Amino acid sequence: MKIFVILSISLLSLNFVISAQNESYPAPPKTNKLLFYIQRNHNANTIVYDANFDKLGNLIENRPIDVYWIRYEENGQRMELRSIESLFAYGVKCDKSDTLANQYKVKLVADEKRDFWLKQKDPFKVGIYTLINKRPSQLDHLYINADNSGIWPRVKYIELFGTDIKTKESTYEKIIH
């Protein structure tokens, strides 16, 4: 249901701009802050999830992840998520671990069933981890494909892309809806 809401919000917030899937979408630049990003078949605009550091390179405890749009179709400008997008589509919930130092359990509003872990190794060095095709992986990005031919978008599938934390091999999982 939440994926349905995500796509509905995306469609409405993008003024009903729809384009064909494009595998050459621009990707956000790799920085020490970038955790992962989400691309969709609607257009090249991308939702970015960055680590939120203090000036010493430590995660800001009450808001460790900064989520925003890169509006590639509008000169690549940054745009904050709308409140409704944060609440029902692309927001995150982060809970600091009581037992593991410098770690947060992260839930994507869109998919509260899947666990993600935000881990800080050193100042300005973090990663976000989950199981991708049953392999512990560092998440790189997600891709959401939806059918926009009806009144409301319908998710066809979600793809997760990452790197196995032990073998460093690429990991991939396609979830068909």
Quick: pLDDT tens for 31-80: 999 999 999 888 899 999 999 999 999 999 999 999 999 999 999 999 99
Measuring CA to CA, how many Å separate 133 from each of 90, 127, 170, 174?
22, 18, 11, 8
pLDDT at position 159 over 70: yes
Q: What one-character-per-residue DSSP string does 25-81 give? A: ---PPP-SSEEEEEEETTEEEEEEEEE-B-TTS-B-TT--EEEEEEEGGGTTEEEEP
Which band of pLDDT confidence, cut at 50, 70 and 90, is reported for residue 7? very low
pTM: 0.84
Start-to-end CA span in the chain (Å): 11
What pLDDT is attached to residue 177? Answer: 82
Counting Cβ atoms within 10 Å, is residue 159 exposed (0-12), middle (13-18) or buried (19+)? middle
Q: How many domains does the chain have?
A: 1
Per DSSP, 90 falls in state S
Rounded mean pLDDT of 89-98? 91
Q: How far is CA 81 from the centre of its chain?
A: 13
Q: Which domain covers residue 79, as residue numbers?
A: 2-176
Contact 161, 13 (CB under 8 A): no
pLDDT at position 22 over 50: no
107-129 pLDDT, tens digit each: 988 777 899 999 999 999 999 99
Looking from the CA of 157 toward its CB, the CA atoms found within 13 Å total: 8
CA distance 34 to 28: 8
Rounded mean pLDDT of 15-43? 76
Mean pLDDT of the chain: 86
